[in-house]
Amino acid sequence: MPQSGKKRAHLRETARDHPEYREILSLFQELYAHIEGKEDATGIALTFPDRHAAQKIRGGLPLLAPESLSVDTDRAVRFLSGILAVLRRAGRQGEEELARIEQSIAEGALDVGALLGACLRRDRGALTEAARSISVQSSLLAFVLEVPLKTALERVAESIDPETVGEWKEGYCPVCGSRPGMDELVGEEGKRFLSCSSCFFRWPFKRLKCPYCGNEDPGTLSYFLAGDGPTRVDVCRKCSRYIKTRDSRKGHADVPLEAEDLATLHLDLLAEREGFERGR
């Protein structure tokens, strides 16, 4: 089953078992249903350097650079139009802002290619300025743009041989440079893998180390559980950030971590209640 289908199936099961999640998860189910089969229709192309890949990895530089991105504007606009239609149909608020985004994209008031590039560079200033120009929340504009970008990034990341980045030791993604969104313990020994928040590529990482500040002091690294599911919250008391960790030895090994993340929103609430901020 394609990744979009796997994500939708897990969210459907979660919504059935946890009705309190139904409203928010139904939105993502509809998004994944719309994306499934259209993963190559985003209008976004990403190319890796033919040479110097090993040198970049040894130097702590991700494989993808801003110039790796090219955008077919017409195809990107069509894809975004479909995403916006889903959001307007399935959402419960923000319809006026979504309509403004759609109109601005259709009329060329927003430079889609430039804004997708800003997302890849994690340039929040450019997104904030664009959002202000059409009177919408920058977080909403970023979310809309990140749907096609993450779709394209995930497709590219799936093609990367893990051996290509075998020397990578950093706490950010070796493919696109984004911070990890979750991590996972796999195998009998519970080897740790970080999972990118943008392209979902996984890379091995030291078991006892904060991926955000590099803290390795066991006295300030801990975790807590909530319920009997396979996912827990790892916290760093030095930088006050957290990351959710799935122990696949306890289940859900075949569930994409993006879906696992959405299905464990209660853990985010608990972590924030304890004074921790999600790592970005």
pLDDT tier for residue 154 given thresholds of 50, 70 and 90:
very high
Residue numbers of the domain that contains 192: 179-278
The percent of residues above 90 in pLDDT, for the chain, comes to 78
Assigned token pair, 125: 């200033």
The percent of residues above 70 in pLDDT, for the chain, comes to 98
Same domain, 204 and 239: yes
Which among 107, 125, 157 is the end of a domain? 157
Q: Is the pLDDT of residue 18 over 90?
A: no
Mean pLDDT of all residues belonging to the chain: 92
Assigned token pair, 172: 């950010």
Query: What whole-number distance in Å separates Cα of residue 176 and Cα of residue 150?
Result: 10
- How many domains does one find in the chain? 2
Query: What whole-number distance in Å separates Cα of residue 257 and Cα of residue 197?
Result: 9
Same domain, 153 and 232: no
**pLDDT one-digit tens code per residue, 162-220:** 998 988 999 999 999 999 999 999 998 999 999 999 999 999 999 999 999 999 999 99
> Among 78, 94, 76, 100, which Cα is nearest to 27's?
94
In a domain, 78, yes or no: yes
| 3-state per-residue secondary structure call for 56-125 | HHHCCCCCCCHHHEEECHHHHHHHHHHHHHHHHHHCCCCHHHHHHHHHHHHCCCCCHHHHHHHHHHCCHH
Radius of gyration of the chain from Cα atoms? 19
| pTM (two decimals) | 0.92
**pLDDT one-digit tens code per residue, 78-119:** 999 999 999 998 866 688 999 999 999 999 999 999 999 999
Largest CA distance in the chain: 56
Same domain, 265 and 198: yes
Same domain, 77 and 148: yes
Question: In terms of DSSP H, where are the helices of 124-264?
Answer: 124-133, 138-157, 257-262
In a domain, 29, yes or no: no
Q: Is 205 exposed, middle or buried (0-12, 13-18, 19+ CB in 10 A)?
A: middle
Same domain, 79 and 148: yes
Residue 31 is inside which H or E element, if any? helix 22-35
